[in-house]
């Protein structure tokens, strides 16, 4: 961008509300956002835009809010093919009797490709512009997302045991590093290590991951303390709670992303705050699997950066961050007994700038500020179900669904326009999905 400061913007967007999610949570009315070379080139009063950029095309978005693209900080995109396959079951029964057997039977590169395409369609259509993934064949996930123009943080998966993707820790690591190399410098793809969970990854590989993460300057993304049962089992088997173990291994740091964290003591909250580790809250999956309640407000009070994830669609059952923001805001109030807990503006920050910070992308995305990538979502608030608008932030969190998203840009490219995907072929994607459904159903 620096090389062409005087070039005219390619696009001026004129929404009713510009919901910046900047450090002051400013909401600007009668302002225009200028996009140039995939970045936010300017934000200026509407009256000045015509003067300053007389030749740039102006896109009117009357009655719309323009906000930063939503960031899904934890999902398993390919699992969308298993949406609704097993419900109303506790975590371990759900995993051991349904999900793991289905994965063992069906997961291969083709499954991941088709499942990720389905997830991309849903996420983009719903205003999500960036997601962090943890699953088998992450190089396929990264390639599909990048091909669709979506921003992705691909998890370099690691488990102690063999799967159709890798035969053991060394091969997981090797494939992860190859993925990292393959996408190094890619404008849309970054990576994190993704050791699955404390109960599926032993100390040796975690130590290796810590060393590589430091060397490559990437984050480490892991399910941690998803249930109190996980903590109890860890204490029984090795005398240590998982978070203490991860701390002993040197993992807790601003580059660490702990997903779930429903079972945490006061001391553990303080530890997370002190080390600068991030928490990724997945309220709907936690509720659905009855995993416990993540103490979000207490974590925030301790200075912890809390981001939001949908988790996989097999345990959610959608990839809708509007719903997740709303559930996060509502649930925090119920759990604390304090209706002021996690107000709307905080929920919106969790789904945007907090996500960016957790993923190490704070300088690039997560807010509407000049110089950042033009990852944008235009939400139509003119319909009966989002009227009246007394407070636009409240409306976005408490009353708007993903279905009111009209346009979505990633790095300045309009991937959803007037509610329709511009690049992905939804009919082809749903046909491939139906084919998987039939194959899976026939074998059950």
**Residues 197, 403, 413, 422: which binds a second copy (CB under 8 A)?**
403
- Only one of the segments 37-45, 122-130, 350-358, 370-378 lies at the binding site for a second copy (rule: CB under 8 A); that segment is 122-130
Question: Which residues, 48 to 87, sit near a second copy by CB under 8 A?
Answer: 81-85, 87
At closest approach, how far in Å is the CB of 419 from a second copy?
10
Residue 150, CA distances (Å) to 164, 196, 421 in order: 26, 24, 12
Q: In what order do the strands lie in the sheet with 278-281?
A: 70-75, 128-133, 151-158, 189-195, 219-224, 256-260, 278-281, 306-308
DSSP string, 244-264: HHHHHTT--STTEEEEE--S-
Which of 164/343 has CB closer to a second copy? 343
Q: Does 128 interact with a second copy (rule: CB under 8 A)?
A: no
Parallel, antiparallel, or unpaired for β 128-133 and 151-158? parallel
Interaction mask 287-316, a second copy, x per CB under 8 A: xxxx-xx-------------------x--x
**Residues 398, 413, 422, 423: which binds a second copy (CB under 8 A)?**
398
Q: Does 401 interact with a second copy (rule: CB under 8 A)?
A: yes
Q: Does 249 interact with a second copy (rule: CB under 8 A)?
A: no
Q: Does 384 interact with a second copy (rule: CB under 8 A)?
A: yes
Which of 321/359 has CB closer to a second copy? 321
d(CA 369, CA 22): 7
**Residues 284, 311, 324, 375: which binds a second copy (CB under 8 A)?**
284
Q: Would you say 237 and 268 are in contact if contact means Cβ atoms under 8 Å apart? A: no
Q: Does 199 interact with a second copy (rule: CB under 8 A)?
A: no
Q: How many CB atoms lie under 10 A from the CB of residue 96?
A: 11
Question: Which residues, 86 to 115, sit near a second copy by CB under 8 A?
Answer: 87-91, 93-94
- Only one of the segments 18-26, 147-155, 216-224, 384-392 lies at the binding site for a second copy (rule: CB under 8 A); that segment is 384-392
List residues bridging with 132 in a β-sheet.
Answer: 153
Which of 352/400 has CB closer to a second copy? 400
Residue 224 has which token pair?
């941690």
Interaction mask 317-356, a second copy, x per CB under 8 A: xxxx--x---x-xxx-xx-xxxxxx-xx------------
At closest approach, how far in Å is the CB of 123 from a second copy?
9
Which of 190/310 has CB closer to a second copy? 310
At closest approach, how far in Å is the CB of 96 from a second copy?
13
Q: Would you say 246 and 206 are in contact if contact means Cβ atoms under 8 Å apart? A: yes
Q: Does 443 interact with a second copy (rule: CB under 8 A)?
A: no
Interaction mask 411-440, a second copy, x per CB under 8 A: ---------------x--xx--xx-xx--x
Question: Whose CA is closest to 189, among 18, 388, 359, 363?
Answer: 359
**Residues 5, 236, 388, 443: which binds a second copy (CB under 8 A)?**
388
d(CA 320, CA 310): 7
At closest approach, how far in Å is the CB of 174 from a second copy?
33
Residue 243, CA distances (Å) to 78, 127, 262, 359 in order: 28, 33, 12, 20
Q: Would you say 183 and 191 are in contact if contact means Cβ atoms under 8 Å apart? A: yes
Which of 212/293 has CB closer to a second copy? 293
At closest approach, how far in Å is the CB of 52 from a second copy?
30
- For 141, residues 6+ apart whose C-beta sits below 8 A from its C-beta are 77, 78, 112, 116, 133, 135, 152, 154
Question: Whose CA is closest to 406, among 383, 438, 432?
Answer: 383
Q: Does 236 interact with a second copy (rule: CB under 8 A)?
A: no
At closest approach, how far in Å is the CB of 61 from a second copy?
16
At closest approach, how far in Å is the CB of 54 from a second copy?
32
Contacts 24+ apart (CB under 8 A), 386-395: 391/344, 392/17, 392/19, 392/27, 392/65, 393/19, 393/25, 393/27, 393/344, 393/345, 393/348, 394/344, 395/65
At closest approach, how far in Å is the CB of 108 from a second copy?
17
Q: Would you say 175 and 154 are in contact if contact means Cβ atoms under 8 Å apart? A: no
Which of 119/356 has CB closer to a second copy? 119
At closest approach, how far in Å is the CB of 50 from a second copy?
26
d(CA 391, CA 398): 10
């Amino acid at each position: 961008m620096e090389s062409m400061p005087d070039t005219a913007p390619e696009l001026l967007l004129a929404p009713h509300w510009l919901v910046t999610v900047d450090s002051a949570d400013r909401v600007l009315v009668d302002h225009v956002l200028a996009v140039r070379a995939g970045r936010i080139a300017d934000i200026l009063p509407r009256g000045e835009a015509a003067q300053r950029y007389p030749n740039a095309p102006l896109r009117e978005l009357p009655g719309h809010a323009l906000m930063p693209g939503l960031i899904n900080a934890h999902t398993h995109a390919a699992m969308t093919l298993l949406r609704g396959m097993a419900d109303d079951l506790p975590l371990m029964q759900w995993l051991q009797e349904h999900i793991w057997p289905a994965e063992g039977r069906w997961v291969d590169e083709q499954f991941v490709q088709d499942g990720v395409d389905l997830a991309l369609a849903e996420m983009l259509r719903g205003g999500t512009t960036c997601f962090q993934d943890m699953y088998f064949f992450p190089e396929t996930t990264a390639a599909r997302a990048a091909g669709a123009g979506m921003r992705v943080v691909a998890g370099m998966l690691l488990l102690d045991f063999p799967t159709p993707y890798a035969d053991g820790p060394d091969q997981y690591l090797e494939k992860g590093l190859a993925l990292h190399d393959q996408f190094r410098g890619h404008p849309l793809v970054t990576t994190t290590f993704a050791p699955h969970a404390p109960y599926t990854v032993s100390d040796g590989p975690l130590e290796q991951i810590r060393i590589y993460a430091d060397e490559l300057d990437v984050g480490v993304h892991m399910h941690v303390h998803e249930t109190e049962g996980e903590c109890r089992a860890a204490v029984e088997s090795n005398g240590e709670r998982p978070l203490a173990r991860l701390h002993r291994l040197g993992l807790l740091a601003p580059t660490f992303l702990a997903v779930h964290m429903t079972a945490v003591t006061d001391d553990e909250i303080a530890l997370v705050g002190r080390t600068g580790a991030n928490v990724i809250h997945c309220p709907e999956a936690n509720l659905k699997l009855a995993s416990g309640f993540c103490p979000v407000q207490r974590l925030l009070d301790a200075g912890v950066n809390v981001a939001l994830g949908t988790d996989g669609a097999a345990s959610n059952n959608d990839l809708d961050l509007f719903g997740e923001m709303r559930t996060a805001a509502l649930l925090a109030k119920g759990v604390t007994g304090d209706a002021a807990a996690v107000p709307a503006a905080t929920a919106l920050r969790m789904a945007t700038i907090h996500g960016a910070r957790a993923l190490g992308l704070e300088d690039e995305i997560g807010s509407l500020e000049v110089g950042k990538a033009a990852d944008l979502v235009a939400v139509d608030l003119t319909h009966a179900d989002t009227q009246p608008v007394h407070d636009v932030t409240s409306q976005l969190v408490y009353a708007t669904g993903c279905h009111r998203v009209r346009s979505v840009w990633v790095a300045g490219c309009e991937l959803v326009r007037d509610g329709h995907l511009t690049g992905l072929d939804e009919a082809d994607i749903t046909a491939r999905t139906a084919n998987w459904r039939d194959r899976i159903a026939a074998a059950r």
